[in-house]
């Protein structure tokens, strides 16, 4: 069986599949003016049969985990059909999603019933006014209610992502607030360093702060660093026996961040991206049209692995093709 392995010995059992560019939030670091139609690309988003073939090809290449991202993936009317397709592929063992939590209180039971294996929810602050200012929506209460419903339904694999923003959510009081939350809730909270993209330089310069501030806080509070295997991904995780949940740090500007890279990306219009901040990408959509194209597509994907770079070089200000994070799922 062919496998996905690059020139640096890294293997790739994990795909991030964007199923739409559309997002209904207006987060300052991503889409401050809301979603704008890209008139330079009139291709439609991947349809169900293409996604089915995509899953089949990657499962044959050793991929066992697919994360659905966007944009906001749940805005697609066939969102739950997509989950069903992925769950029906015997090679795909884990189907997880990243969402902004829009109407999570209404969708929680459907998500659990769909059989997804995990959910990541973007919540940049537990302070309602801050949440509204960052996202452009006053929906924090319904998202927290949705998390509560998920827990009542015994759904355990819940993670919250918060982008670390200097002067907005990066104080010790903010960290304490999250600490109180995960002390009572079995939820993992991960702070992610703000990343520069093609169109957010001013915002980045104003609000970027090193995740060291949060790491120092965790060390001060005696949180214990938890180690995982080499394919666990980039999050640095911390545990405390007195807390139900965990803290995590995703620090893309740190040394050796890319050393444990274990994922590839597919855009909503069928482009293969070897890196979130890569400067190249190829369309594989033309090989998703017929079942008899699978071997040809496998060969194409495997052949691309030699072009994957050792690092994203984000620390050098290289943002590649990533105009904003809605394009490739963040």
What is the distance in angstroms between the CA of the first residue and the CA of the last residue of the chain? Answer: 30
How confident is the model over 139-143, as a mean pLDDT? 98
The ranges assigned to domains in the chain are 14-316
Q: Of 94, 78, 282, 314, which Cα lies nearest the Cα of 197?
A: 314
Pick one of 3.90.226.10, 2.30.110.10, 3.30.590.20, 3.20.20.70 as the CATH number of 14-316. 3.20.20.70
Q: At what angle do helices 172-184 and 212-220 cross, to 10 degrees?
A: 60
Rounded Cα–Cα distance for residues 83 and 153 (Å): 19
Rounded Cα–Cα distance for residues 216 and 25 (Å): 31
The predicted pLDDT at position 2 comes to: 81
Q: Which of 6-15, 39-48, 238-247, 308-317 has the lowest mean pLDDT?
A: 308-317
- The distance from CA 150 to its chain's CA centroid, rounded to whole angstroms, is 19
Q: Is the pTM of this model over 0.75?
A: yes
Rounded Cα–Cα distance for residues 105 and 144 (Å): 8
- Secondary structure percentages of the chain, helix, strand, coil, to 5: 35, 15, 50
Task: Specify the residue for token string 């919540």.
Answer: 123
- Judge contact between 168 and 125, C-beta under 8 A: yes
How do residues 195-252 score in pLDDT, each as one tens digit?
Answer: 988 788 899 999 999 999 999 999 999 999 997 654 456 789 999 999 999 999 998 8
Query: Is the pLDDT confidence value at 264 over 90?
Result: yes
């Amino acid at each position: 069986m062919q496998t996905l392995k690059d020139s640096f010995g890294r293997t790739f059992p994990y795909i991030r599949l964007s199923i739409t560019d559309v997002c209904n939030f207006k987060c300052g670091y991503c889409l401050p003016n809301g979603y704008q139609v890209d008139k330079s690309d009139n291709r439609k988003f991947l349809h169900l049969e293409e996604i089915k073939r995509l899953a089949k090809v990657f499962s044959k290449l050793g991929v066992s985990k697919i994360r659905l991202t966007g944009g906001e993936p749940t805005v697609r009317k066939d969102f739950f059909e997509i989950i069903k397709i992925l769950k029906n592929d015997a090679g795909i063992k884990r189907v997880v999603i990243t969402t902004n939590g829009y109407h999570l209180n209404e969708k929680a039971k459907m998500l659990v019933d769909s059989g997804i294996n995990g959910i990541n929810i973007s919540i940049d602050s537990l302070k309602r006014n801050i949440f509204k200012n960052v996202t452009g929506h006053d929906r924090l209460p319904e998202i927290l209610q949705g998390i509560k419903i998920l827990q009542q339904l015994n759904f355990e694999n819940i993670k919250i992502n918060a982008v670390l923003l200097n002067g907005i959510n990066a104080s010790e009081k903010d960290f304490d607030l999250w600490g109180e939350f995960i002390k009572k809730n079995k939820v993992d909270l991960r702070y992610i360093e703000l990343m520069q993209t093609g169109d957010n330089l001013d915002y980045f310069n104003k609000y970027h702060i090193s995740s060291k501030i949060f790491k120092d806080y965790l060390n001060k509070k005696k949180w214990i660093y938890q180690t995982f295997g080499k394919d666990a991904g980039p999050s640095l995780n911390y545990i405390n026996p007195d807390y139900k949940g965990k803290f995590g740090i995703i620090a893309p500007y740190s040394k050796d961040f890319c050393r444990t890279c274990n994922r590839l990306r597919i855009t909503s219009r069928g482009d293969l991206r070897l890196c979130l901040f890569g400067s190249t990408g190829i369309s594989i959509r033309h090989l998703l049209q017929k079942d008899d194209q699978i071997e040809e597509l496998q060969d194409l994907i495997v052949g691309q692995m030699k072009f994957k770079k050792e690092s994203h070089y984000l620390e050098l200000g290289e943002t590649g093709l990533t105009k904003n994070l809605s394009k490739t799922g963040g």
